[in-house]
Copies of this chain bind each other. A is one copy, B any other.
Amino acid sequence: MNVAIIGASGYTGLELIKLLINHPKFIIKYIANSTGNINVQELHPCLKDIINIDVSKADAKEVALNAKLAFLALPHKTSMSFAKQLLSLGVKVVDLSADYRLNLDTYEKFYCKHEDKNNIDKAIYGLPEYFKEDIKKANLIANPGCYPSASLLALLPLIDYIDTNSPIFIDAKSGVSGAGKNLSKLTHYGHINENCFSYNPFKHRHMPEIQEKIKVLKNKNVLINFVPHLLPITRGMLVSIYATLKNDKLDTNFTQILENTYKDNEFIRIRKNPVDIKSTSGTNYCDIFVAKNNNALFISSSIDNLLRGASSQALVNANLMSGFEENIGIPKIAYVP
């Protein structure tokens, strides 16, 4: 089955190419970025001798001629105008941007005016553990953000035990690749190396995404207090969630609850020791650990921000949309050591 990748220059575009090269069913037929006119081996020298395909200037009609499904690894806003065209031409879309993740009001409050109001309501949020049946029938997937993927997978199974009148805190720690390949003071080596700091505390746009999905799935209004930090590593993400339990005499085995919740989900691993970033780097796994101290709850989850937080999760969604097993071509072997 032929697929297209639009937005091949960035990190998530590269990850998609790398995953699809070895995929047993999908064939990369079309790759595009905003300029075209370059071979993919020049664009990404690590691909030399592995895949030989020209990178085109993105054109929706060309996509429709070449592929049944397209991955959009585009910036917010650019993505929705391109998705709109593709959908009208009958191409299925997995959108890695934020453009279809939120309901219209929330989107316009935190991002900008929406340009594809027809489709925003039809988009399925591509968190496979919670929306699998809808994903199978979808034409448009809103692939979750990296922080929401790690946060929701950790928090949702335990939300009923949490006092949602008390603040829920998420201290999230991301590798620098989460900030993309663009040049900025933030991603200069001298700024990141041997350093660590929070950024946009309580103001990151993944905060409403987490809140909205808890509302959709659990019918609870929660206030998520989200503080992202940058780590001096390239890839990987560690999310530390702190919440108040409803009842401090509770003798609940939270590890057991997590295991039961995810017993049929092969890409979630419940750990009995604190999770680390390296055990999930290079994979689609989300590892989760939980501990409690009186009425205080700590949940820690780890993912690869570029894979489970973007490209491999997008591929799981594409597998499901195409009638394949969700796990085909999805990486499990970590970059350890």
Residues in A lying within 8 Å of B, measured CB to CB: 11, 14, 18, 21-22, 44-46, 48-50, 166-167, 169, 171, 173, 176-177, 181, 183-185, 187-199, 201-202, 223, 225, 227, 229, 231-236, 238, 240, 242, 244, 266, 269, 271, 273-279, 281-282, 291-296, 298, 300, 302, 306, 332-337
Residues of chain B contacted by A183 (CB below 8 angstroms):
183-185, 188
In Å, the complex CA distance between A57 and B298 comes to 38
Which one of B189, B193, B296 lies within 8 Å of A169 (CB-CB)? B296
Cα A231 to Cα B196 with chains together (Å): 8
A46 and B331 alpha carbons, distance in the complex (Å): 13
CA A276 to CA B230, docked complex, whole Å: 10
8 closest A-B pairs by beta carbon, nearest first, are: A197-B276, A202-B293, A167-B296, A169-B242, A225-B296, A183-B183, A190-B337, A46-B334
A44 nearest in chain B by CB position:
B336
- Given A202-B296, A231-B196, A244-B166, A337–B177 Cβ distance below 8 Å? yes
What residues of chain B lie closer than 8 Å to A48, measured between beta carbons?
Answer: 269, 271, 279
A293 CA / B185 CA spacing, docked (Å): 27
What is the distance, in angstroms, from A129's C-beta to the closest C-beta of chain B?
A: 15
> Quick one: given A11-B337, A193-B234, A240-B198, are A298 and B227 in contact (CB under 8 Å)?
yes
B residues in contact with A274, CB < 8 Å? 197-199, 201
Specify which chain B residues have a CB less than 8 angstroms from the CB of A185 in the assembled complex: 183
Please give, as numbers and ranges, the residues of chain B lying within 8 Å of A281 by CB-CB distance: 194
- Could you tell me if B177 and A190 are in contact, using CB atoms closer than 8 angstroms? yes
Q: Quick check: B234 and A233 within 8 Å, CB to CB?
A: no
Q: Apart from A46-B279, A198-B238, what 19 extra A-B contacts exist at CB < 8 Å? A: A14-B337, A45-B273, A49-B269, A49-B332, A169-B169, A173-B196, A193-B193, A194-B233, A194-B235, A194-B278, A194-B335, A197-B302, A198-B298, A201-B274, A202-B298, A225-B296, A227-B242, A227-B298, A232-B232
